Amino acid sequence: MLAHRPYDGSSKPFTIGVRPLEPARWVEPDDQLDAYLSEKQTLFADSYGDVFAARADTADSQREIRDALADYLTRQYPQIYRRDGPRLHIVRRTVTFDDETPPLLQAAGLVQDDLAIMRKDGDNWRLVAAAICFPSTWVLREKFDRSMAEIHAPVPGFAGDMERRVTRIFDNLRTGAPVERFNWSIYNNDTLHHPLPSTTTSDASFIRVERQTLLKMPGSGDILFTIRVLIDPLAAFRAHPDGARLAQSLREQLLAMTEAQLAYKGMSESRDRLAAELADLATATL
């Protein structure tokens, strides 16, 4: 519970917030690995066109990423991952590296993270391949093969200076030197696959954190963008030793958002209710 807490003040909403990442912490499987991989397997089987897309000219890049990820996982987590020729064993399941399945799809079957490949195209970076099973209110087919500016057009404040700064970060990434950033939203359900705005009327509240990493690949020069979704009920603050401060910090950030930012995150109508809930949690956990 609450493995990552960017709302503690360390990462402000609608800021870039990129920081260097120790290579040993690039990917972080946990005790929910099998559950995430099971849901991915179901989505790949039942909703392939919604969760996977790749340009034909990305095959070599996909293989480079798959092999780099497999090598990293077997070295960093030998208690979870074991390589046996073209097969990679993950506790109770096996992923086979064959020539029929897109390599990025094979790579996505190894980790809880979603995977996306960004490629430099003139002055822009473009989304050229992706396995996105757990989107946070966005649809892959609407973003695929679009530039970073087009992908982030709905994000308040992205156009202009922020876009230029993000482009410089992408341009200046060094191979072997991953970086990470965090994002968060509050939803009224704990569904992992969440491409569309919620239509439920539940009053339960869940904090949805995205841990995002960027790693430049040495062969292709493409950038692998990973997105790990972690979901916890706001009620988890009650049991956390720092729950009162976390609830208060999250409340302050929520109340500081502009109308455009709240609308983008789908929290315009729920802000006051969430602020009250967080105020109660801050008091109750003191």
pLDDT surpassing 70 at residue 286: no
Helix/strand/coil for 130: strand
71 closest CA partner among 185, 198, 215, 184: 215
131 in a structural domain:
yes
Task: Over range 214-230, report the average pLDDT.
Answer: 98
Tally of structural domains, the chain: 1
104 closest CA partner among 160, 35, 48: 48
Q: What's the confidence (pLDDT) of residue 197?
A: 85
Q: What is the pLDDT of residues 154-198, one digit of tens each?
A: 999 999 999 999 999 999 999 999 999 999 999 999 999 999 887
286 in a structural domain:
no
14 in a structural domain:
yes
Name the residue range of residue 123's domain: 6-195+209-234
Q: What is the pLDDT of residues 121-143, one digit of tens each?
A: 999 999 999 999 999 999 999 99
272 in a structural domain:
no
Q: What's the confidence (pLDDT) of residue 204?
A: 79
266 in a structural domain:
no
245 in a structural domain:
no
Q: What's the confidence (pLDDT) of residue 92?
A: 86
The overall average pLDDT reported for the chain is 95
Q: How confident is the model at residue 68 (pLDDT cuts 50, 70, 90)?
A: very high
pLDDT surpassing 90 at residue 1: no
Q: What is the pLDDT of residues 40-60, one digit of tens each?
A: 999 999 999 999 999 999 999
Which amino acid would we find at residue 149? A
Q: How confident is the model at residue 284 (pLDDT cuts 50, 70, 90)?
A: confident
Q: What is the DSSP code (8-state) at residue 134? A: S
| H runs (alpha helix) in 58-117 | 59-76, 103-108
260 in a structural domain:
no
- Helix 243-256 with 271-284: angle, nearest 10 deg: 160
Distance CA 83, CA 73 (A): 10
Answer yes or no: are the C-beta atoms of 127 and 118 closer than 8 Å: yes
241 in a structural domain:
no
Q: What is the DSSP code (8-state) at residue 23? A: G
